[in-house]
Structure 1
Amino acid sequence: MLLRFLAFAACTLPALAAPEKKVVDGVTYHILHAKPAQVRVIWKDTQGRQIETFPQATAYLTGIGETPETLMNGGIYEPHGVPSGLLAQNTRELHPLNLADGKGNFFLKPNGIFLIGDKGAAVIDSTEYPLPGVKVSHAVQSGPLLLRNGKVHPKFRATSTNRLHRNGIGVTKDGTVVLAMTDIHSPKYPNLYEFAMLFASLGCSDALFLDGDISQMRSGEALTKESGPFGSFIAVVKDKDEKP
């Protein structure tokens, strides 16, 4: 099987401090493009304690010398903030891969994994993990897959009336990471088929659904404002190679 690690050479995309607000087919989204080198998956701090809120995630990143620009909640999780599946942080696997069957979005097979490896970023089918010869630094499993190799999840229906607040993550053909979330005040929400097509319209061949109603994406001063608990976070940090 040909795996879609595409253009793992350095992206030329400039760093963005905050998401762009964009209306697509009547749905308002927050969209952020980032280099793979800027993206982190975080769940625990250096003492092994769970990171549950946006301020805690911001403090952790600052404490290890990073400059957080945007944070978004990560994949689906179980009670007490435990990831439903694989989570890797700073090259350490903190929670194992989950290929079990069950009910709910996470188990709507195929589900998938977003990862950052030594060859760049990728979204893959969970059954493809681990990838031969790839050293993974960050990864989070969620579900369902929105796109894989340019194809929409086989169980999605364009006519579905299940329209909800959603967030997800994808990887473009040139290796850029794309974070997207519906605006909580959007006059219209997408169904899963439409959400998958959003990522396709942004140039993503592969994309993953992360979560639903609770989803948040924060930048700037909002990073330190209190929040409810989450299971993990995807962070976009300041590009250390960016020229001032």
Structure 2
Amino acid sequence: MQQHSQQPNPKLLNKKPLNKQPQYVQPSLGHALHKAVKAVKTISGLKANTMANRSLIRSAGAALLTGLMLSGCTEGDLDALIESTHQSSGQSVCSAQAAPFAHTLCSVSQDSLQQADSPLSLQLFWKSRQDDRAESDQNSALPPLYTFDALLADLPKSRELKFAINAGMYDREFAPIGYTVIQGKQILSLNLNEGAGNFHLLPNGVLWWDNNNQVQITESQQFSKLLNDKQITPWYATQSGPMLVIDDSIHPKFNQSSTSKKIRNGVGVCAEGQIQFVTSHEPVNFYQFADYFKQQLHCPNALFLDGGIASALYAPDTDHKDDKNMGVMLGLIEDKD
């Protein structure tokens, strides 16, 4: 862009000589370039989640800006382009997949969550209007939201639910049975007890993220040590089990030839900072499910959320919405303000 500032085209400066308003040239070009990069990301659907993608987006943005300026377009034209393509691009976070088993894959990158001006956020939901209530209200007699329809109705109009999924296991009252934190408020303490059922097929783990939206999956015993040493401060957290993949290894108790096959869903923190949510639409055993996270999604750590009749997914990108009661829900929110 330095060539434009050193040898400006008078047409690009509204026919005003450079020596009259030199201080405005570079800010204008920088602002326009920012908008051109935004337009490229909107049109292409590319995510700035790798160095190669970021370089490609910026180069394409510079090329787009050059072409628009040479054709006499203004920044207002760029604004209109961004708005129109944003409306038509329908950037998807969830997609239907046929292999290695029928499933829906929903993805969000760490980068997209951690950008300072990002409209996206992962959140946990349990009871109505949790943003407006005091800490004690989370443990009050108010009933859970139960369903995706109730969650959708509960959200402010300025927020869009991009997808949602059940967030771990719950009891008969639809209260969580494992460690749960919502907006920094602990709902239930860490559960390190032994017992029956999938939750206690140890090791189990915790999906959590801090106030900086750094998403992690940590085995429960290790998580306990981090908590006790005050090394972490979860903003959201949900404990479930079993772990599917632990430090690049499939759970040691999974049997590749197991005949126990069910609908299952889970989450992994994976290659290139992608957080991957998988909901199977056909029965699979634990080994098959974990192997997909390890071998194809390249997740060093992955966690089972639930299965069978408790597996629930809301994915408008694929026109999928389960009508089931559940406890805590996890959703990707886009703030439209």
- Which among 135, 144, 149 is matched to residue 55 of structure 1? 149
Q: Distance in 1 between matches of 2:328 and 2:319?
A: 15
Contact kept, 8 Å, 1:112 with 1:125, in 2: the verdict is yes
Deviates more, 1:161-170 or 1:88-97: 88-97
List per-residue Cα deviations over 1:12-60 (Å, max 9, x = no partner). 34995441111223x1010011134331122123244322111122233
Residue in structure 2 matched with residue 89 of structure 1 by the alignment: 182
Post-superposition offset of 1:84: 1.1
1:41 paired with 2:124, answer yes
- Structure 2: which amino acid aligns with 1:20? S
**Alpha-carbon separation, structure 2, partners of 1:24 and 1:221:** 18
Q: Which structure has greater strand proportion?
A: 1
Letter in 2 for 1:41: L
Identity over aligned residues, as a percent? 28
What SS is found at the alignment partner of 1:238?
strand
Q: Following the alignment from structure 1 to structure 2, what is the Cα–Cα distance between the partners of residues 174 and 216?
A: 27
Q: State which of 312, 329, 333 in structure 2 corresponds to 1:216.
A: 312
Partner in structure 1 of residue 56 of structure 2:
none
Contact kept in structure 2, 1:121 and 1:176, CA below 8 Å: no
> 2:98 & 2:335 partners in 1: Cα distance?
27
Kindly tell me the number of residue pairs found equivalent between the two proteins. 225
Supply the AA of the counterpart residue of 1:60: D
2:22 matches 1:22:
no
Greater mean alpha carbon deviation, residues 199-208 or residues 102-111: 199-208
Residue by residue over 1:195-234, the C-alpha shift from the partner in whole angstroms, topping out at 9 and shown as x without a partner, is 0011111121110001111212112399997833101111
**Which of 276, 293, 300 is the aligned partner of 1:199?**
293
- 1:20 and 1:74 map into 2 onto residues whose CA distance is 20
Code of the residue aligned with 2:253 in structure 1: it is: K
Q: Find out whether 1:12 has 2:86 as its counterpart.
A: no
What does residue range 44-123 of structure 1 map to in structure 2 within 5 Å? 44-45=127-128, 46=130, 47=133, 48=138, 49=142, 50-62=144-156, 65-117=158-210, 118=212, 120-123=214-217
User: What is the aligned counterpart of 2:261 among 133, 158, 163?
Assistant: 163
For 1:61, the aligned partner's letter is L
Bigger radius of gyration among the two: 2
2:67 aligns to what?
none
CA distance in 2, matches of 1:52, 1:61: 14
Is the counterpart of residue 149 in structure 1 residue 247 in structure 2?
Answer: yes
Q: In the alignment, is the contact (CA less than 8 A) between 1:16 and 1:32 conserved in 2?
A: no
Equivalent position SS for 2:97: strand
* Residue number among 234, 249, 260 corresponding to 1:136 in the alignment: 234
Counterparts of 1:84 and 1:223, CA distance in 2:
30
In structure 2, stretches of 5+ residues that fail to align are 1-46, 54-89, 114-120
**Partners of 1:223 and 1:161 in 2: how far apart?**
31
User: Please, what TM-score do these two structures have when normalized by structure 2?
Assistant: 0.61
What runs of 5+ residues in structure 1 fail to find an aligned partner?
1-10
Distance (whole Å) between structure 1 residues aligned to residue 265 and residue 104 of structure 2:
9
CA-atom RMSD, angstroms? 2.6
SS at match of 2:221: helix
Q: RCO (CA 8 Å, sep 6+): is it higher in 1 or 2?
A: 1
Aligned letter for 1:208?
L
